[in-house]
Amino acid sequence: MKVDLPAELGEVIGGYRLEEVIGRGGMGCVYRASHLKLGRKAAVKVLAANLARDAHFVARFFQEARIVGEIGHPNIVAILDYVDAEQPRRVAYVMELLEGSTLRAILAARPLSMTQAIPIALQISEALRAVHALNVVHRDLKPENVFVVAASDTDVPARPSIKILDFGIAKVHDPRSPIETEAGVTMGTPAYMRRSRSRTNRCRRRPTSMHSVSCCSR
**Known active-site residue 140:** yes
> Which contacts (CB < 8 Å, 24+ apart) does range 15-24 have?
16/42, 16/44, 16/94, 18/44, 18/46
Question: How many beta carbons lie within 10 A of that of residue 20, not counting itself?
Answer: 9
β-pairing, 41-47 vs 90-95, is antiparallel
| Measured distance CA(134)–CA(143) in Å, rounded | 23
| Measured distance CA(112)–CA(180) in Å, rounded | 38
Strand partners, 56: none
Q: Is 3 helix (H, G, I), strand (E, B) or coil?
A: coil
Which one of the listed residues 54, 81, 140, 153 is annotated catalytic?
A: 140
| Measured distance CA(95)–CA(44) in Å, rounded | 6
- Residue 188 region, left (φ>0) first, then alpha (ψ -120 to 50), else beta? left
Helices (H) and strands (E) in the chain, counts: 5, 11
Cβ atoms of residues 170 and 137 within 8 Å: yes
Active site residues: 140
